[in-house]
Amino acid sequence: MKFSGRIPAVIPERITSAVFGPAPVGRERSIGMSERLAAVSSLQSSLEYLSRRKDIEKGGMNDWEVARQNLAAAGPLTRRLVDGVSGVRTTTALHLARSAVSLGMLLPGDSRWRGAGNVFLGASSALLSPRHHYGGDGSDQVATLVQLATGAARLVPSPAAKDALLWYAALQGNLAYAVSGWVKLFGRPWRDASALGGVMRTRTYGHDGMYRWTQEHPRTTKVLTHSVLALECLFPLVYARGGRLTRSMITSAAAFHVANGYFMGLSRFVTAFPAFHPLVAYTTTPRSHPAVAGRDDRALAVAATALAGATTAAAVTAVRRRLRTTEGWHTSRTLTTRYGNRLQYEEYSPGAPDQPVFVLASGLLSTSEHYAWIAERLAHETRYGVVVYARAGYAGSHRRATTGFRLAESVHDLVDLVNGAVAPHRRVILVGHSIGGELARRAARHLGDRLAGIVYLDSSHPGQFTSGLGTIERGLAGNFSTVSRALRLGTGLLLTRPAWIDELPYAYRKKVFAQVGDARMWEAARREWKAIRDDFGSFTGALARIEGVPALVVSAQRTVDRNPEQLLLHRELAEAHVGARTESVVVEGATHESMLINARHANQVTDRVIAFFEGVSPTAAPASATPSAGAASSSSSASSTVARPARAVSRKEAAR
């Protein structure tokens, strides 16, 4: 036969169908493939834990006497179950049994006993998860999900129920890839392709050879990084056009996991995530194909309905939180500053006309309600006036300025608030926590004789970055952006209330949680943090002198313990005040946040504030005076006597 040099038309068609087309897998075969891949992950996981038994023994990384504290918030039944399997001998016996069952799952067969084996592996993995708090990873969770789904599918007699379980696991696999990809997309390192080199440079997951390759081939690295993003973000497209992308998608995903196993040492991922793939292949094959004849797809309609319901619920939740965030309290007022910003503020107490007014400035990513304990006591136990406000972008305050944001804008907003919300004849005492303290310090030169004093509560210092204290926080702007974008997409519905909110007075908790779950607050924090880094990064000199203004500098013990240099910076704040009394104190046991939100620490702070300003002149400008002996830069520990708690019923509760 003479060769014509022309390729038969059937060959390109076969190549195309091999790359672009469904991967027909029957129900029983998909279950068998998935359960065996998951069993390999479980076998490897248990063998790894058995080889590192010292981690679960006393003094080890997962010493149960220490690790059980992570279950403090769990229910009593959960704690009893986990406690029952967390002894060293019981844990060892379970891993030996898991290893034996995993080996058995690798043998051929389709009996219902395999369903029991899958359920045992999945359930035991879930029970042991708290026991291996340090050392577990996503592969354990994926294997558990697949084993419980396939195990139940083997045990239930109804074909429709089997298909519903397989659809559930397949959709979970799609969700895992898509969420992972979209979360990466929010991060700049993945968008600019620096993430791959960064990961390869780490000690835990890095690979020297691969890191050097990423540096030598930046263009190829960028293509590779963006390809991974596209694969994960677009993975659900396997269901488009009759599953034409199934083969290419699951092959690419499997290659990605093999690469992770080799370069990052995540060997369990090589089989854990691909355990989803047979189920994806089964559910993406058109129903007209003989391999999936009779497949029940009602679960897909149920999932679509649930997704629509969840989307609606997320939108409603976001709207409710936005309204709760911006409406303020029924006593809230607004004021427009020179920049056009509309500030929402509240007068807790007008105080006596002849007494100064405390104006409280909150920190970065903090609400004015963080001052609840302090503001309540000052309002109801002293004759001072008390005003709290939200900076532009927080709560009901709106930023209308059209220029790029700088810290000077927030400083002038604070000055305008004082001049607009406090009667002209009354003096003010500025209280600032974190960056609020720096804003108060800068506002001092604009307020002149109206300023009766400043309280710095674990305050920021413009020299903290040049002194090396800002290294850890360099990535905060990116984190703020990521959370802000995620909340705008409706993920606030999944947000659980942080435990620290429950330390605030009861009447303030819902309001604070609404603000934490609102994207505006995170966007404002991102904007402020960028301005702080730009501003503080250029600081080179000494702090400007503040003449004749008393200053109380309060530090949190945990802050200065973590970095003693912070205490030196706080002392510099006190030393910048000349010709007036100053005092520096440390609140024992307090953290940066707890000095406001923890009742005991907040009461200690309030006691110090009241004692320090007792007898401050209410109207006249402060007279120049020589600081009392040892007061100018003294550092004393907070009193060990716990101040009496705030009154039982707060003003907010009474208002309700």
pLDDT, tens digit, 9 for 90 and up, residues 273-325: 999 999 999 999 999 999 998 899 999 899 899 989 988 998 898 899 899 99
The band of 66, judged by pLDDT with boundaries at 50, 70 and 90, is confident
Neighbours of 5 (CB within 10 A): 5
Contact 280, 149 (CB under 8 A): no
The band of 341, judged by pLDDT with boundaries at 50, 70 and 90, is very high
Give start and end residues of each alpha helix (H) in 68-135. 76-84, 88-105, 113-128
Tokens in use for 214? 């990423």
What is the residue-averaged pLDDT of the chain?
Answer: 86
More confident residue, 622 or 542: 542
| Window from 424-433, 499-508, 613-622 with minimum mean pLDDT | 613-622
d(CA 294, CA 271): 29
| Window from 103-112, 390-399, 626-635 with minimum mean pLDDT | 626-635
The pLDDT of residue 475: 60
Sign of CA dihedral 238, 244, 250, 255: negative
Is a pLDDT exceeding 70 seen at residue 98?
yes
Sign of CA dihedral 546, 551, 554, 560: positive
| Residue 60 DSSP label | S
The pLDDT of residue 636: 34
The band of 472, judged by pLDDT with boundaries at 50, 70 and 90, is very low
Full-model pTM: 0.74
| Window from 119-128, 186-195, 413-422, 634-643 with minimum mean pLDDT | 634-643
Is a pLDDT exceeding 90 seen at residue 69?
no
Contact 445, 546 (CB under 8 A): yes
Degrees (nearest 5) of the Cα angle 211, 215, 216? 115
Q: Is 393 helix (H, G, I), strand (E, B) or coil?
A: coil
pLDDT tens per residue across span 204-238:
788 899 999 999 999 999 999 999 999 999 999 99
